[in-house]
Structure 1
Amino acid sequence: MEIRALRAFVEVVRQGGFSRAAKAVFVTQSTVSKAVKQLEDELGVRLLERVGHQSRLTEAGEVVFRRAASILAQGDDLRTELEEVRGLKGGTLRLGFPLIGSNTLFARWFAAYRSRYPGVEIKLLEHGSQRLEELVLAGELDLAASLLPVSGEFDWQEVRREPIDVLLAADHPLARREKLTFKALADLPFILYGEGFALNPMIMAACRESGFTPRVATRSSQVDFIIELVAAGLGIALLPRLIAEQRPHPLTKRLPIEHPAIYWHMALVWRRGGYLSHAAQAWLALAGAPEVAGG
């Protein structure tokens, strides 16, 4: 069983087709097709069903995909360890940051790291927490920032824990209160985040605990746009206090929310038992550094 064939198969699944997979691994589509066919012949099972221009995993294919992704990730770990044993200077740090809060939490951290380790190349990817976790497990990221709790597949290091506050139009009757409960929000339209944001299931769970399913007015991945929508009276939003405080708006009111209280609990996560490069360990070690501790 060749690593080349496993990588071709895994990329077909991740990219959603043979042509995109070929671009990802820098070979022709024909080469990818032959590699996958070779793997199917060797294993004696059908891995993919061709449906039009798309490919769908068979039951056997799902098993092989999980195993193959793990094998490839372990192979990447092996190469990284060997490079460092040979005294590789510099190296690469592959980081994943969420779309919300990264500027607040990690800008100073990033600057401090670049100052201390100018020879390390930092490859940065921004995405929703769920997608970042998938990329960490696939071995494509060394570290990612994600919201706790995370599954047992990860080790993690806490970054920040902030209460979630509710933001509503300043002229709304509820804005006159000092604090709110989720139950008080039951009849109001909610502005939620885009797909893949870990805050969404937290908000939905708090609503269910309070006995209702929220009516969703719209969704957005842009915090500033969400705040403007609240100011325009489209609905309410739930924001981490730290982020809401940095974006005051004269037409909105921010109130603490409780019963149940929920928190934006950010951590850096990595694969449990996975190899952490010296570059990644140095990033984690910056947590207590004076220039970033208040970040």
Structure 2
Amino acid sequence: MEFRTLRAFVEVVRQGGFSQAAKAVFATQSTVSKAVRQLEDEIGAPLLDRIGHRSLLTPVGEVVYRRAVKLLAERDDLIAELSEIRGLKRGVLKLGLPPVGSATLFAPLFAVYRQRYPGIEVRLAEHGSDQLEESLRAGEIDFAGALLPTSQDFEWQQVRHEPLMALLPAGHPLGGRVSIGIADLRDSAFILFDAGFALNRIILDVARRAGFEPQVVARSSQIDFMVQLVAAGLGVAFLPRLIAEQRLDPAVRLVRLDEPGTEWVMAMAWRRGAFLSAAAQAWLALVRELHSTALPDES
């Protein structure tokens, strides 16, 4: 059963005859007659009782007409909905963003995207980069904010490159230095993020390469709380410079961590070879538009 034959039959009923239906579907009268006969042959029963120049619905024809009207309406709705999605008037974008840096890096992107595509629903998931990568790998989100280097399973667009800063209590003996190595903090207690944050992995890996296992005294997902723990003298924490300088505290000193492999490089990642919806492609285009020249900030 084809939509073409259903449309011809419905128009014959609506227009009250074959000649008028032919005009409605931009076909010849013989083409419309053949379409209706094809439909009758397929169903195995007459749909129209032809009396002179009039055509009346048979009992079977009434059932087919009622169903055909609904089917054609659903088809039209489907076409319209797909057209809206392709035209970015509707759709869903699933983003995974880490708590560290999102307000600064991704909130402006989000605002521009919403302005350009107000009909797209944006669903946000907020976790550490490691956890977001698992969600991305499972197909639960379209994109994830991820720290580089990341898995070969993903493609990525770099968004920001920042050095890491050690946050030291004001009374710390190294607080007056311009930069320090991780080994200089061997005897200091560390304040790290909760599990699932890629920044933890960076800090722990570089400490182990320096030959020690840090004493971790606290873990949190709240940056402001971690800064206050440092201010209270509990230990040292680590943040990208961009974020650390937004949370200056008179009781905290910022000292650059001078260690290879500790740069904070944030990227927008997606599954390699994955299908990207029109909404997702628009997001990626915007990220590339605004961050295609993201380079290391060495100032």
TM over 0.5: same fold?
yes
Whole-angstrom distance in 2 between the partners of 1:96 and 1:287: 14
Instruction: Give the 5 Å matches for 1:45-124.
Output: 86-87=82-83, 88=85, 89-124=89-124
Equivalent in the alignment of 1:137: 137
Q: Following the alignment from structure 2 to structure 1, what is the Cα–Cα distance between the partners of residues 80 and 109?
A: 24
Amino acid at match of 1:271: R
Measure how far apart 1:259 and its partner are. 3.1
* Alignment-derived partner of residue 146 in structure 1: 146
Deviation of 1:263 after TM superposition, in Å, equals 1.2
2:251 matched to which residue of 1?
Answer: 251
1:195 corresponding residue in structure 2: 195
Displacement of 1:260? 3.4
Percent of residue pairs identical: 52
CA distance in 1, matches of 2:167, 2:80: 48
Residue type matched to 2:150 in 1?
A: V
Q: Cα–Cα, structure 1 residues 185 and 119, in superposed 2: closer, same or farther, change >3 Å?
A: same
In the alignment, the residues of structure 2 paired with residue 193 and residue 261 of structure 1 have an alpha-carbon distance, to the nearest angstrom, of: 18
Rounded to whole Å, the distance in 2 between the matches of 1:260 and 1:181 is: 10
Matched residue SS, 2:200: helix
- Cα deviation for residue 239 of structure 1 reads 0.7
Distance 1:137 1:107 in 2: 24
Q: What residue in structure 1 maps to residue 156 of structure 2?
A: 156
Residue in 1 that maps onto 2:6: none
Q: Please report how far the alpha carbon of residue 208 of structure 1 lies from its aligned counterpart in structure 2 after TM superposition.
A: 1.0
- Is the contact between residue 128 and residue 198 of structure 1 (CA under 8 Å) also seen in structure 2? yes
- Work out which of the two has the higher radius of gyration on C-alpha atoms and give 1 or 2: 2
Secondary structure of the structure 1 residue equivalent to 2:174: helix
Work out the number of aligned pairs and report it. Answer: 213
Matched residue SS, 1:123: strand
User: Counterpart amino acid of 2:101?
Assistant: G
**Residues in 1 aligned to 2:292 and 2:151: alpha-carbon distance in whole angstroms:** 27
CA shift digits 1:114-164 (9 cap, x unpaired): 000011111111111122111111111011111111111111111111111
Amino acid in the other structure paired with 1:146: A
Decide whether the 8 Å contact of 1:164 with 1:261 is kept in 2. no
| Cα distance change, pair 94–259 in 1 and its aligned pair in 2 (3 A) | closer
Runs of 4 or more above 2 Å deviation: 82-89, 287-294
| Kept in 2: contact 1:108–1:292 (CA 8 A) | no
Distance in 2, Cα, partners of 1:238 & 1:83? 52
Q: Provide the C-alpha distance between the structure 1 equivalents of 2:255 and 2:196, rounded to a whole number of angstroms.
A: 26
* Counterpart for residue 9 of structure 2: none
Computed over aligned residues only, the root mean square deviation of the Cα atoms, in angstroms, reads 2.3
**Contact 2:159-2:291 within 8 A present in 1 as well:** no
- Aligned-partner Cα distance in 2 for 1:269–1:83: 32
Name stretches of at least 5 consecutive residues in structure 1 with no aligned partner: 1-81
Matched residue SS, 1:246:
helix
